[in-house]
Amino acid sequence: MAKAHGNSPSITFKRGAKLAKRMVHVLETGLEYMENSNPNGKPAVRGYNIINGQLTLASDNSTFRSTNPALLADCLGEFPLSTREDVRNALNAAHEAFSAWAATPAPTRGQIIGNMGRLLMEHKEALVALETREIGKTLKESGGEIQEAIDTCLFFQSEGRRLYGQTVNSELPNKELFTYRRPLGVCGIINACNFPSAVPFWKMIPAIMCGNTCVWKSPQDAPLLSFALARIMHQAGIPDGVINLVHGKGSGAGQYLVDAVDEGLVNKISFTGSTGVGKMIGEVCGRNLVSCSLELGGKNPLVVMPSADLNNAVEGAYWGAFGTAGQRCTSLGNLIVHEDIYDAFMEKFMEKVKSTRIGDSLVHKNVLYGPMLSEKYAKDFMVGLEMAKASGATHLWGEGPITAQSAPENFLGNASDGVFMWPHVFVDVTEDMECFHEEIFGPLVTIVKATDFDHALHLANASPYGLSSAIYTNDRLEAYRYKTGIKAGMTSINNSTSGAEAHLPFGGVKGSGNGTRESGIWVIEAYSYWHAVNDELSGKLQLAQMDVDEIEMVEAEVNWSELA
């Protein structure tokens, strides 16, 4: 039973059979609230790290705050700015818990994961509202993401009964050969804040199902949701030390976790974020022969061919470019339109762009997107916007930040309350421009003309990334040639670049990742290694390839030429 540490409030994480007797709401009971005067009347939470099942502050008591990007005056809570010592304590707890957790039968581990899924279902509405408040996603998108975390739990619950090895026939008599999946050890988990519930579940659920333990560095801009999710994991029955949560900055707690690879304290790093940081993590892991999973950026292409249903293509391109305010690694980057339908497509596309409803989904209904994920993401987007302008492309639509003096027709609310951006469209983009190659994380799309299919495929492959891709065509040969010719980890035919189901492999190639995959049965390879066992039953030494009886071939007594 895990309790608070030091001056933290006393909280009990209920286990196993006690789940049926829940008397305390996991998202409310035991939370310590700060004194504040949020304009919406919502309380701010005193947040904690969770290390070995205990709630802890930073060793030097330093903190940071999480704020609502749609209403910057709304503080969600205050959280530990974790130190190197805090990360070390979390790693030590994970190492101490590893042996017992790895020895726990896989079906039992799966049952705890199933409990997590059921608790997520029970608290889905509250979690959806919390996610929308903390990072500004629409309620519909937050709902889809929490559902993906649920789906991941339910999928891997049953995988606990299918963590199969194989029985292999030996070439020698009285000998048996087996293969087993074994856990790697302690996994460092670092995820971005644009998918703060689905992605950590993509990573940690298969990790713990395989018998690993984890230290999870929460996204700096989504600490309260991470805290709630970690508490749900403990309430589901996860033993103390199996999942440890530390908060802080990427340059702080995140870097300390990566540094620990050099100290021999981490057996796996799973990272979702920028390509630059991913390369740094890959270097550290490579020199230590430590496994890493890297899910990085994208400049995802979407091709529209003359045979496409234009209305369908416009819907897919519009959502891919501006859903989540363009803050997905799978967001549409380069929209590649065949020149024969360019004018007709652009007329329909720009009509939708100009009608975009933007606002706080907690207040206004039917908005396409809300604010940027945080003020930091807003500043980074402005850098990308200026780069696009300097590239030489034609800036067709968008005026930067939404303000009281500069707001689209369908912006809802008070622009000064949060960090909202116009949708931006750049046309006349060519392959030699910087904005064609560089990911711009926000509501901006670059549009390129293609002369024919071969040119379109060339353009789709010309960026340094290879995450998601799409084509709209009703020519089946074009669809076939695209899916076989594209260099990307994922491809949609007559659908958007964004979107993935919880049982499909997710990840990219080139600058988008190192070939590992999230989700589905394929992710198990990333969190386990194969152990080959040979069991000698003969009572004597038998050496493969040396003690195998030779088979003599007998010459046939048939004159084959007579049968010709």
Give the residue from 430, 350, 432 showing the smallest Cα distance to 396: 350
Residue 493, classed as helix, strand or coil, is: strand
Q: 139-149: per-residue pLDDT in tens?
A: 999 999 999 99
Percent pLDDT > 90 in the chain is: 88
pLDDT for the residue 29: 54
Directed axis angle between helix 223-235 and helix 124-135, to 10°? 160
Domains of the chain in start order, with CATH, are 16-51+62-295 (3.40.605.10), 300-510 (3.40.309.10)
Query: How far is the C-alpha of 396 from the C-alpha of 411, rounded, in Å?
Result: 19
Catalytic residue among 75, 292, 329, 435: 329
pTM (2 decimals)? Answer: 0.92
* 37 pLDDT more than 70: no
- Give Cα 281 to chain centroid, integer Å: 16
Reply yes or no on whether 285 is catalytic. no
Residue 99, classed as helix, strand or coil, is: helix
End-to-end CA separation in angstroms for the chain: 82
Give the confidence band of 34 by pLDDT, cuts at 50, 70, 90: confident
CB atoms near residue 365 (< 10 Å): 10
* 436 pLDDT more than 80: yes
Q: 367-419: per-residue pLDDT in tens?
A: 999 999 999 999 999 999 999 999 999 999 999 999 999 999 999 999 999 99
Q: 216-233: per-residue pLDDT in tens?
A: 999 999 999 999 999 999
Amino acid letter, residue 552: E
pLDDT for the residue 182: 98
Query: How far is the C-alpha of 168 from the C-alpha of 174, rounded, in Å?
Result: 13
163 φψ region: left (φ > 0), alpha (ψ -120 to 50), beta (else): beta
Burial string for 451-488 (b: 16+ CB within 10 Å, else e) reads: eebebbbebbebbebbbbbbbbbeeeebbebbeeebbb
Which has more confidence, 25 or 269?
269
Q: Please give the sequence-ordered ranges of beta strands (E in DSSP) within 438-485, or none if there are none.
A: 444-450, 465-466, 470-472
